[in-house]
Amino acid sequence: MTRALNRSLPFWILVVASIGLVAAGLLTVLDHLATMTATLKDGSATGLEVYGGQSWIVLGSALIGAGALGVLLALALAVVSTLLGAATARPVDIAPLAFEDVDDIDDETGSEAADPAGALDAPAAPHEIEKQQRQNPAEVDDASADEAQKGSSGSTATATKISVK
């Protein structure tokens, strides 16, 4: 058995439960078979001992069969794990992602680098729109309404909080 199988809790639960089922089945079968045989030989057997004993023997046989199947399954699992060996994870080389190639901060100046392709353009944040409106209120109203409308399913009136009559 491999070290991984020795430390596997489900494997040991299977082994212990299988052996327990075999033992319980053997105990049930032998006890009821002995009682049934003894009472039949001395002539004092009742219907409960004969017919009930047969049912208990069948139940015990089923327990023995289930336990034997579990033991065989545990042995087969041990053989297969020994043949295959322990699974080892191999390191995988990961290619750098596309956004890792772009430097956001220039190393020499410590400021943000220029974005020639416009890849870092994003819609303006609400606090930036308010700042622009305070500086140039007439010029920014149309631009902020358009920016607020981007991605919205509502109308311009809804996006800019204008009541429409």
What are the pLDDT digits (tens) for 97-152?
A: 766 555 555 555 555 555 555 545 555 666 666 776 677 655 545 555 555 555 55
Strand, helix or coil for residue 105: strand
pLDDT of residue 84: 77
Burial of 44 (0-12, 13-18, 19+ CB in 10 A): exposed
User: Which has more pLDDT, 80 or 64?
Assistant: 64
What predicted TM-score, i.e. pTM, was given to this entire model? 0.49
pLDDT of residue 140: 47
Contacts of 28 (CB under 8 A, 6+ apart): 56, 57, 59, 60, 63
29, two tokens: 């079968």
pLDDT of residue 91: 73
pLDDT single digits (tens) 22-57: 999 999 999 999 999 999 999 888 888 888 999 999
Distance CA 14, CA 20 (A): 10
